[in-house]
Structure 1
Amino acid sequence: MAPDMRSAESGNGRGKARRLALLVAADEYDSPDLGALYSPAHDVDALASALAEPHIGGFEVQRVLNRPVHEVNLAIEDFFCDKRPDDVLLLYVSCHGVKDDAGHLYFATTNTRVTRLGATGIASTFVRDRMSQSRSRNIILLLDCCYSGAFVEGLVRRGDGGVGINERLSGSGRAILSSSSALEYAFELDEHYLTKDISLAGTGQRREGRPSIFTEALVTGLTTGEADQNHDGRISVDELYDYAYAKVTETNPNQTPTKFSDVSGELIVAWSPATAKPPSLPDEVVAATKNPLGRVRAVAVDALKELALTEDAATRRLAYEQLKLLLDDDSRTVMAKAREAIAEIDDARPGEDTSSPAVQPRPDRPVAGRAVTGDAPAAGGPAAARVPPPRPDPGP
């Protein structure tokens, strides 16, 4: 099992940070000028699953699907406000993209009108300004947007010409991955549909489909760990882009994903489930639980209690299980401290499942030179070892 990424490290690996993702998508539109899309809802489902997985992305994920422009704008502004510099923020947008007569880019929502983009579309300048004003220096923007909604057999084109996404949205502290270049369409797969009329608006039904070519590549790279090209257990923005680029161009040579990044250092998107090391307790704490001296094991109880109250779920479970093993310690002092620690943890986290099959029974500790009562050895040297008598057989 890979480490829990939530609050584990900043995007550039320099300390504690929150990992927050906002996924915005629209596949149903009121305007007849904007055709319904197959992919966005499925894009959000697939990407959210990967990003939210504690041992892959570790993001707290918020979804905004098929909402009017004022709600989406507010969600985007809220997302970038009141953040810390080390917070990792990921914004994903999957929808139609349209341009006004001046060439300004807008992202379409359910109530977008192509003749009133300024009032009913999400301006790319609005997104750029919110990103620029955010205190976070670790911002990832993923764009999988269609521009014209022209549909063809097998592939649904997503664009109406050169938009210059990177030119409109680039800025300091940000990495931008877009599904195609400024002069290309982005495509969504269209393989198993039995009808040309894909509109299900108002029916309460979900469209059958699969993620777009670009998002499918992102999700595959994250969930399989194949995007971890250097096998260090982490997937950076650059690695994810390289993987997606290869997969997209292999599927459709006419689509070329693009990347812009001006983040110093590595910006980590996820942990690789294929190469990451399993979670473990600090070596010095584990060693202390096996120390011949009862007073050292008592100190280990305090360290385990602290670990069992951290934000990392895997660490909490391991520490709790180790404390349970110390309930059977042959030092009364250690046993009592372990019992008190477990009670405090149970009070602090009521109802939490702390079971962990990863913890193995504690091997026998050496008894030479340790006081089995838990009292400290005399100043002149270690107390003589006293092996406790065997426990009576309770019988059948």
Structure 2
Amino acid sequence: MGRRSALLIATYDYQDAGLRQLAAPAHDAEALATVLRDPEIAGFDVTTLVNKPLQQVGEAIGDFYRERRRDDLTLLYFTGHGLKDDDGRLYLAMTNTRRDSLLFTGLSAEQIDRAMEGCSSRQKVLILDCCYSGAFPAGHLAKADTAVHTLERFQGRGRTVLTASDSTQYSFEGGQAHGEAVQSVFTRYLVAGLRDGSADLDGDGDITLDELYSYVHDRVVEERPQQRPKKQDNVEGRTVIARNINWTLPVHLRNAIASPIAKDRLGALDGLAHLHRVGNEAVRGVVQEEVRRLADDDSKVVSAAAVERLRSSGSAPAVPVATVLRDARTEAAAVLTRAEAEAARIRKAAVEHGATLIAAARANANEEADHILQRARAEAEHLLGQARAQAAVETVRLRTHEPARCESCSSALDPLDTFCGECGFSLLGNEAGQQQPPPGEERLHYFEIARRGYDPDQVARYLATPKEQRGPIPTFDLVRRGYNRAQVDEHIRQS
């Protein structure tokens, strides 16, 4: 880091009786030197020259800009009279300056410009709070004459120039033309902005030249609308002139951190991260402390986010091994509990889904079985109807056909008989080749009895009864057996 050096020049005691005596400059320089020298605020190596002759001031300026490094920060401040010669050249009045011999007794702006040009530093600051001879507004001392063109005389790379006013305006000194401890308006706000940190406009803990100028300009114009401070710069990056020793966390971040709502505390981490990124060392220290506090937050979400912030910034706190093991066990138990609950939920869902599938399968199977049964019944009804129709057709055909004759006795046969009713000859064939016994002598074939519609038990009892004890066979039964009327009558007669 480069050196920080400041040379403050104040002249208020002039040998030339024509130059007015100013009470303010010495107080301006002393107040500014105090705040710049403070290691907590600016930390400059400050040299102050008050009421010194031209030769001593010139040598001091030459030494000030000599043998500087590129990263050094230099600040040259002058408060006093500024004078112009007949050709419009600007001079700064020293204690021995004579208005009728400015070329040899005044410090020319050209000399200062050449000294700055020869300096290697890339951060050269020049602050001029000069009072130029001219009009005197009521109640104030003029500190600028018209057509001074101050900024035009100090152009150059690596420079920042702040002036109390531009070429067409005035610098003022507060209310009294003569008196004690009355400070310049411009320098007063320079000192105030640095001393209490109010010039730290972006709240990052650093006060840059841009911020300092904006702060001073707004307050000077508010208090003295006729005065318009000006600035020109030609530097790379920003120039930090001081630190804000009164820096605190912004109110909105303090409120968010203290909020009982976890979402607000979580959102505060983004603001803290921004401050850690742009803030100075002191700011980063405060930010880190707040993030560490949030790392112990009751909310696991906030705590985890804070710990992650600390890790990303490379400042995660050291944690004892026992604490790590305890937290790991606790987390493992929590994970296991969640896993068991999830497994139980999955099993329950699977059982419910399986029961649903089984019920659906049963319903589908029952429905399919009902359909199959309905189709089978319909098919059976259809086949039975066809069989009945065919049987009816065959019966009619057989009834109308010429009756068959028994091969044994040539008796007429019922188409549905399997034995001859007269001789008992088997129409289905006789394995023994013997003639069947006549009717009444042996039981009819069970199939014939059932086919003809008789009750098998009743017929069996009838046949088991001795012939002399049998009653007559009902006429309708004989007719039903296919006998003709003559055969029925003969049967009745024999019985």
TM-score, structure 2 length as denominator?
0.50
Residues 168-190 of structure 1: per-residue CA shift (max 9 Å, x gap)? 01110000000001111111113
Match of 1:163 among 145, 148, 155: 148
CA gap 1:149/1:35 in 2 versus in 1, 3 angstroms: farther
Gaps of 5+ in 1: 1-15, 199-206, 278-313, 315-364, 370-396
Say which of 87, 91, 94 aligns to 1:102: 87
In the alignment, which residue of structure 2 is the partner of 1:212?
184
SS of residue paired to 1:183: coil
Partner-residue secondary structure (3-state), 1:45: helix
- Provide the C-alpha distance between the structure 2 equivalents of 1:188 and 1:41, rounded to a whole number of angstroms: 13
- Please state how far the C-alpha of 1:274 moved relative to its aligned partner: 2.2
**Does structure 1 conserve the Cα–Cα contact (< 8 Å) formed by 2:144 and 2:165?**
no
Structure 2: distance between partners of 1:144 and 1:88: 20
Answering whether residue 69 of structure 2 is matched by residue 84 of structure 1, we say yes
The structure 2 residue matched to 1:54, chosen from 39, 48, 51, is: 39
Q: Post-superposition shift, 1:151?
A: 5.1
Instruction: State how far apart, in whole Å, the 2-side matches of 1:275 and 1:222 are.
Output: 12
**Alpha carbons 1:22, 1:63 under 8 Å: kept:** yes
Q: Deviations over 1:262-315 (max 9, x none)?
A: 0110011111122279xxxxxxxxxxxxxxxxxxxxxxxxxxxxxxxxxxxx9x
Distance, in Å, in 1 between the alignment partners of 2:145 and 2:184 is: 17
Q: CA deviation at 1:367?
A: 9.5
**2:123 — aligned with what?**
138
* Distance (whole Å) between structure 2 residues aligned to residue 157 and residue 209 of structure 1: 17
Unaligned regions of 5+ residues in structure 2, if any?
Answer: 250-281, 283-318, 324-495
Q: CA deviation at 1:39?
A: 1.1
Equivalent-residue separation in structure 2 for 1:35 and 1:157 (angstroms): 11
SS state at 2:219 partner: helix
- Is residue 2:224 matched to residue 1:252? yes
Distance 2:131 2:211 in 1: 24
Given that 1:35 and 1:149 are in contact with CA atoms closer than 8 Å, whether structure 2 keeps it comes out as: no
Q: What SS does the corresponding residue of 1:116 show, helix, strand or coil?
A: helix
Pairing of 1:188-337 with structure 2 (within 5 A): 188-191=173-176, 198=178, 208-275=180-247
Query: 1:211: Cα distance to partner?
Result: 2.0
The Cα offsets for residues 100-121 of structure 1, whole Å up to 9 and x where unpaired, read as 0110000001110111101000
TM value normalised by structure 1: 0.62
After TM superposition, give the deviation of residue 214 of structure 1 in Å: 0.3
State how many pairs are aligned. Answer: 257
| Larger relative contact order (CA 8 Å, sep ≥ 6) | 1
Shift in Å at residue 366 of structure 1?
Answer: 5.9
RMSD, aligned CA: 2.2
Q: 2:100 is matched with which residue? A: 115
Which structure features the higher share of helix residues?
Answer: 2
Asked if the contact 1:234/1:276 (under 8 Å) is kept, the reply is no
State the distance in 1 between where 2:322 and 2:220 align: 64
Change (3 A) 1:122 1:33: same
Kindly indicate whether the alpha-carbon contact (under 8 Å) linking 1:19 and 1:59 is maintained by their aligned counterparts in 2.
yes
**Equivalent position amino acid for 1:82 in 2:** E
Distance 1:173 1:276, change over 3 A: farther
Query: Displacement of 1:210 after TM fit?
Result: 2.9
1:41 to 26, 29, 35: 26
Measured after TM superposition, the shift of residue 243 of structure 1 is: 0.6
Aligned partner of 1:284 in structure 2 is none
Distance of 1:183 and 1:33 partners within structure 2 = 23
Partner of 1:379: none
Relative to structure 1, is the Cα distance of residues 48 and 76 closer, same or farther in structure 2, using a 3 angstrom cutoff?
same
Provide the secondary structure at the position in 1 that maps to 2:43: coil
TM-fit CA distance, 1:50: 0.9
Task: Give the Cα–Cα distance (whole angstroms) in 2 for the partners of residues 60 and 246 of structure 1.
Answer: 29
User: Secondary structure of the equivalent of 2:113?
Assistant: helix
User: Match of 1:117, as an amino acid?
Assistant: L
Relative to structure 1, is the Cα distance of residues 152 and 36 closer, same or farther in structure 2, using a 3 angstrom cutoff? farther
Structure 2 CA distance for partners of 1:276 and 1:44, relative to 1, 3 Å: farther
